[in-house]
Amino acid sequence: MNEKEQISVVVCDDSALMRNLVGKMVENADGLVLAGKAMNGRFLLQKLPRLQPDVIVLDLEMPDMNGIEFLKERKARGIEIPVIILSSIARRGAQVTMEALSLGASDFIPKPSGSISEDIHVVEKQLVELLRGYGQKYRRKAGPRGDGSSGATAAPPKEPAPPPRESSGGAAADTAAPPKAVKVKLEPTAAPVPRAEAGPVEILALGISTGGPNALRQVFAHLSPDLAVPIVVVQHMPAGFTTEFAKSLDRICPLEVKEAADGDILKAGRILICPGNYHIAVEKRRLAGVVRLSQDDLVNGHRPSADVLFASVAAQYAGRSMGVIMTGMGRDGAREIGSIHRKGGITLGQDEESSIVYGMPKVAAEMGHVQYIVALKDMASTISRLVQENQ
């Protein structure tokens, strides 16, 4: 891969040790090149026009101009270079990380052991995955480096901002053109049960990983406020962050969003986010369904695992369910979303173009488990429409 094809990365951290450790990860990764380093947000802003990176690694706690202040200035200047946050794992770190996402940061990686983490190598694979995913997506959108269409001084056109919470998913969403959902050719062994036999949708289960925080922000901001099913979400995220993540989603979503607790009731119009380091499953009772949390062994290398959620939804709700699998590396959820599909449930997968990493939904589609391939921008309206049509 020549230099022009490599993803260019800038590392911004006030710790020289952290700049060097993260910089070496970038230099050692295939397809990535280290464009430069900065010790705070002010120096970073000065260097961006010259360096024209494809992605930025940003610390939050820095003197002079910290990460939040940089993100505010980035937004004011219309800079759209994606930003991956290096975050402290403390509670305050989780709160600030969610604020960073609300200001336009793309994703985050928790530092394993605080502000200066000499063991940062334990998150190397995840960081490289994020840098490649977001960097490649930005390059495709911004055009070749050096032609004046990339970098801090000439941002690509902005996508429309989500509407305010009060109007999200309301009449405008209901009257919009039908979403561009494409039927996937199903394998004979995965033919769905006819919807007439399966019955109305009573629950929606969603599995997502890399690229998930902002993807969920976009989807949840546009869901119909009249969506009459409970939603249970597995987002691969470290323990300590899911409480604040759920709160941040609740602020922009017309439905209630909360971190799930063991025994929480599944209620129409409520979204439950699985807490980090727990599996989540559903249990159907005579009066109402509930969720169950456990710390059973990792599945597909994950806890929570989307496969655990999908398997329980298929077992408890059969064809009266919907499964959604979105952006993420690997294959978690790809097998058991097939259980929902085989029992007559509706299954959706995010498309390649809008996925940061086209892993989980790709494997599910290749296995014949996905009925509809849907772009991120159409996911909320597609979910709302399909639930309404199957009531």
Query: At 171, is the pLDDT very low, low, confident or very high (cuts 50, 70, 90)?
Result: very low
Q: What is the pLDDT of residue 163?
A: 45
- From CA 273, how far away is CA 258, in angstroms rounded? 6
Cβ neighbours around 46 below 10 Å, total: 12
pLDDT score of 375 more than 50: yes
Q: What is the pLDDT of residues 228-279, one digit of tens each?
A: 999 999 999 988 899 999 999 999 999 999 999 999 999 999 999 999 999 9
Per the listing, tokens 């429309």 go with 160
Which is catalytic among the residues 106, 224, 236, 302?
236
Which is catalytic among the residues 13, 332, 351, 378?
332
Domains of the chain: 3-142 (3.40.50.2300), 165-389 (3.40.50.180)
Which is catalytic among the residues 88, 106, 209, 305?
209
Query: At 143, is the pLDDT very low, low, confident or very high (cuts 50, 70, 90)?
Result: confident
Q: What is the pLDDT of residues 86-132, one digit of tens each?
A: 887 555 778 999 999 999 999 999 887 667 777 788 889 999 999 99
CB neighbour list of residue 84: distance below 8 Å, 6 or more residues apart: 55, 56, 57, 58, 105, 106, 107, 108, 109, 127, 130, 131, 134
- From CA 59, how far away is CA 71, in angstroms rounded? 11
15 has catalytic annotation: no
332 has catalytic annotation: yes
209 has catalytic annotation: yes
- From CA 354, how far away is CA 372, in angstroms rounded? 14
Q: What is the pLDDT of residue 193?
A: 54
Q: What is the pLDDT of residue 18?
A: 93
What is the three-class DSSP state of 190? Answer: helix
Phi/psi for 340 (5° steps) reads: -65, -45
H/E run at residue 271: strand 270-273
